[in-house]
Every structure is written in structure tokens, then in C-alpha cells.
Amino acid sequence: MSLEILLVEDNKATRELIRMKIRILKPDADIETAVNGIEAVKDIENTPYDLIITDVEMPLKSGIDVLKHAKKRVYKKNTKKTTVFVMSARHEYKNEALNQGADVFLEKSLNFIKELVKHIKICFPN
């Protein structure tokens, strides 16, 4: 069974870079994308993702809202656990993201793709 991933990122270059790295790491993964928080929430309602990777600063709904929705959906529908990685260029979002249930907070810095890959390997070793 392949890994179901939702990538929520409004910046096309960043979205494609992350998608490419995941393809290399997990070639069988099913990667869906959303470019804003509202699309992400709709996708989360329809698909029980294994991993959601979301930027914080998103149009229409923030990544924190996406995180809350994902965690609430798992609780309400008693579906499989969804791992959520939250990303931001702004470190001040870290505590809020972790307090809301993010499994990983990634600061968008020079090494954030390397950190993203590391955490995917840890959370999904097979």
C-alpha cells in the first residue's frame, strides 16, 4: 500500500522541490497538492492521508487551521493516524504548531529540505 501524502504549499517552486524530493525518497507515494488552506481542508475530508505537509502562511486558511482540521478529523472519524509536518520561514509559529498537534515543525531555512527528508525517513521508514 502506498503512502498517501497531501502537500499544502502556495509557492509553486517550493511545492515542486518538495514533491521532487519525496518522489526520490518514496517513489510509490501518492502525492496530492493544495495551494491554499480551503483546498487542503476539502481534500482532508475526502482522503485519509498518512502525511500532511503544510506551510503556515497560506491563502484563505492558514496551515495551523489545516493542522487543527486534520487532527480533529482523525479524532471524529476514528481514522488512521495522520502525521502532520508544519513548515514556516518564521520560527515564532513553532510553539503554536506543536501545541496544536503538529508532529514536526520545519523552519524554512537553507537546510529545510534536508530536515524534511530526515523526518520522512524517521516517520515512514519503509
Q: Which of 42, 40, 34 is nearest to 64 (CA)?
A: 40
2 band by pLDDT with thresholds 50, 70 and 90: confident
- At 94-122, the pLDDT tens digits run 999 999 989 999 999 888 899 999 999 99
76 band by pLDDT with thresholds 50, 70 and 90: low
What residue spans define the domains of the chain? 4-123
Q: How many CA atoms lie within 13 A of 29 on its CB side?
A: 26
From residue 5, alpha-carbon distances to 29, 32, 49, 93, 95 in Å are: 7, 6, 6, 22, 24
pLDDT at 61: 87
The mean per-residue pLDDT over the stretch 17-30 comes to 94
pLDDT at 30: 95
The mean per-residue pLDDT over the stretch 17-37 comes to 94
Find the Cα–Cα–Cα–Cα dihedral 43, 46, 51, 56, rounded to 10°. Answer: 30
Q: Which residue has the cell 501518492?
A: 30
The answer, yes or no, to whether residue 75 has pLDDT greater than 90, is: no
The CATH number of domain 4-123 is 3.30.70.890: no
The angle subtended at Cα 46 by Cα 59 and Cα 51, nearest 5°, is: 70
The answer, yes or no, to whether residue 3 has pLDDT greater than 80, is: yes
DSSP code, position 126? -
Task: Write the CB contacts of 7 (distance below 8 Å, at least 6 apart in sequence).
Answer: 15, 18, 19, 22, 31, 32, 33, 34, 53, 54
pLDDT at 1: 64
Mean pLDDT of the chain: 90
